[in-house]
Amino acid sequence: MDNRRRKFWGWGWEDEGPTAEQQGKIADLLKERFALRSVDVRTPPRIEELSLPDCRITPPDSLASICSAAAYDRAGHTYGKSFRDVVRAFRRNYDHPPDLVAFPRDENQIIDLLDWCTRDGVVAIPYGGGSSVAGGIEPPADEYRPVVSIDLGGLDKVLEIDRVSRAARIQAGVYGPALEDQLRPHGYTLRHFPQSFEFSTLGGWIATRSGGHFATLYTHIDDFVESLRVITPTGIAESRRLPGSGAGPSPDRLFIGSEGILGIITEAWMRLQDRPRYRAAASVTFTSFQAGADAVRAIAQAGLYPSNCRLLDAGEAQIAGAGDGTRSVLLIAFESADHTLDAWMARAVECCRDHGGEVPQDAVKTVEKDEGARGGAAGAWRSSFVGAPYLRDALVAMGMISETFETAITWDRFPAFNAAVMGAAEKAVKEICGAGSVTCRFTHAYPDGPAPYYSIIAPSTPSDQLEQWSEIKAAASAAIIDNGGTITHHHAVGRDHRTWYDQQRPDVFARALSAAKRELDPAGILNPGVLLGD
């Protein structure tokens, strides 16, 4: 990592994000867009302002040197990075920070930490990059036991590269950029680029079933896990490196998505990609979102496997600077380290035209360098994508509601589902905020359905920002669950999605998972309230 310091209260580096001047311009835009009389820009919290409750525990001597009770560390590990988290930070609400933050540098220290927690009844919350948007890393408000947040950032190395099988053994605490930096000299890439890429870790991606770069085929991190090493309170689980296996239920699949309730992932063998050499990209516009959705379905069912296949509705396209707000935009790209992609793109473009897509001649670019095709709508969308979390924090400071939610649904149900979810969200936004926008894009697409991703921006009453969002979130989530979707496609469950996750997952499965947890974590120290429990 850098010498720069991370914000303890929000996204990214302390010295990044919109400047005061930029914030003023954003405020002007908001005033115009939502007919607001004024927009106040509130000041983010400073550590000195916070009054954290006293730390209630003393670590064993052997662990003292890796444990911190510093206010910056405790405050920085209190919340994830959701809208709700940033609002609470602006409210200076740090009532439930972890008592300590531990920074282990090796597996033995992790084992010692879990032993200590088990022995003394201390809650252990595994912490990767802290980018959870689902309450996955916060000490529960109703938790009476002391809490230690275990920050895995010290386990940040690529340990081994197997060039023949194109795989690497990687420590789980490595952040996205540091991971890619270590692979690049060898000509490889993991090519897993969630929006949180800069401030999230391999272990966090695996524990939360992160969704990445590839819009089709290999959408979740799950697909790239060759084997896992997990430290549980009662033993270490290490699976074999296997390209495929049919020996019983997959051991890895139990831990992938377990969100820190079963153990701490310390290492994984990950399947790598050669760095792409060929790239073909196109921007296609549609008069309706559904027409674009039909084209995405055709492409997803054709066996073409584009790396990008992101459909933005008209509003989303406009916000991202990829359209004028009248048409939906489909960003489609193929990439390969092996072969040119003309045949692939030609057929994808045909699929788009079959469904009314307009493909201007200059909208198709085929290049021999990955970096070459980043202009136009795709480039605008990408830079907006990466900068979005900084912008979101600025919007929170201006008293706006700014948040996203996402799901997946089969194609047959998508039109009614989307109408119900958009309808519920728009109705709630209008009733609660008076104005606001709800937009939709597809982040990933499967042969049997899309993963729709919704973004909300709405003016709120600063004092009620949290409560207003809660109502909107509840309305949208109920619509998702009632209409057959999943409460999360790649944002994870955490604590915030429990109400709806509990309706979604089969009870029988929850009982099986609880039994597994009781077996591996008999003292119930690991991340209580996430996925399971009252």
Structure tokens at 142: 């109703």
Is residue 160 within 8 A of residue 169, CB to CB? The reply is: yes
| Residue linked to tokens 């979707």 | 485
Residue with smaller CB distance to its own copies, 82 or 219: 219
Q: Under rule CB under 8 A, which residues in 459-488 are in contact with its own copies?
A: 484-488
Give the H/E segment covering residue 342.
Answer: helix 342-354
Structure tokens at 118: 């088990």
Which of the ranges 105-113, 145-153, 243-251, 365-373 carries the binding residues for its own copies, by CB under 8 A? 243-251
Q: Should residue 232 be labelled a site residue for its own copies when binding is judged by CB under 8 A? A: yes
Quote the CA–CA distance of 426 and 406 in Å, as a whole number.
15
Is residue 421 within 8 A of residue 461, CB to CB? The reply is: no
Q: Under rule CB under 8 A, which residues in 185-224 are in contact with its own copies?
A: 208-211, 217, 219-220
Binder to its own copies among 116, 381, 454, 501 (CB under 8 A)? 501
Q: Should residue 534 be labelled a site residue for its own copies when binding is judged by CB under 8 A? A: no
The interface mask with its own copies, positions 346-385, x = CB under 8 A, is: -x--------------------------------------
Q: Should residue 506 be labelled a site residue for its own copies when binding is judged by CB under 8 A? A: yes
Q: Should residue 342 be labelled a site residue for its own copies when binding is judged by CB under 8 A? A: yes
Which of the ranges 17-25, 60-68, 83-91, 517-525 carries the binding residues for its own copies, by CB under 8 A? 517-525
Structure tokens at 280: 């073909």
**What are the start-end ranges of the H helices in 138-260?**
176-183, 202-208, 251-255
Which of the ranges 9-17, 87-95, 340-348, 382-390 carries the binding residues for its own copies, by CB under 8 A? 340-348
Among 143, 103, 88, which residue's Cα sits nearest to residue 530?
143
Q: Should residue 42 be labelled a site residue for its own copies when binding is judged by CB under 8 A? A: no
Binder to its own copies among 256, 282, 320, 479 (CB under 8 A)? 256
- Write phi, then psi, for 43 (nearest 5 degrees): -90, 135
Structure tokens at 483: 């209409």
Q: Under rule CB under 8 A, which residues in 129-188 are in contact with its own copies?
A: 162-167
The interface mask with its own copies, positions 391-410, x = CB under 8 A, is: -----------------xxx
Quote the CA–CA distance of 89 and 77 in Å, as a whole number.
12
Residues forming a β-bridge with 308: 333
Q: Should residue 499 be labelled a site residue for its own copies when binding is judged by CB under 8 A? A: no
Residue with smaller CB distance to its own copies, 464 or 502: 502
Q: Under rule CB under 8 A, which residues in 431-460 are in contact with its own copies?
A: 444, 446-451
Q: In what order do the strands lie in the sheet with 308-312?
A: 364-367, 278-286, 328-336, 308-312, 437-446, 449-459, 400-406
The interface mask with its own copies, positions 257-296, x = CB under 8 A, is: xxx--xx-------x--x----------------------
Residue with smaller CB distance to its own copies, 181 or 448: 448
Return the DSSP state at 106: S
Binder to its own copies among 3, 141, 185, 244 (CB under 8 A)? 244
Return the DSSP state at 104: -
Residue with smaller CB distance to its own copies, 16 or 354: 354
Taking the complex as a whole, the smallest distance from the CB of residue 133 to its own copies amounts, in Å, to: 12
Binder to its own copies among 287, 514, 524, 533 (CB under 8 A)? 514
Please spell the DSSP secondary structure of 17-53, one letter per residue: S--HHHHHHHHHHHHHHHT-S----PPPP-GGG--PP
Is residue 209 within 8 A of residue 491, CB to CB? The reply is: no
Q: Under rule CB under 8 A, which residues in 50-89 are in contact with its own copies?
A: none
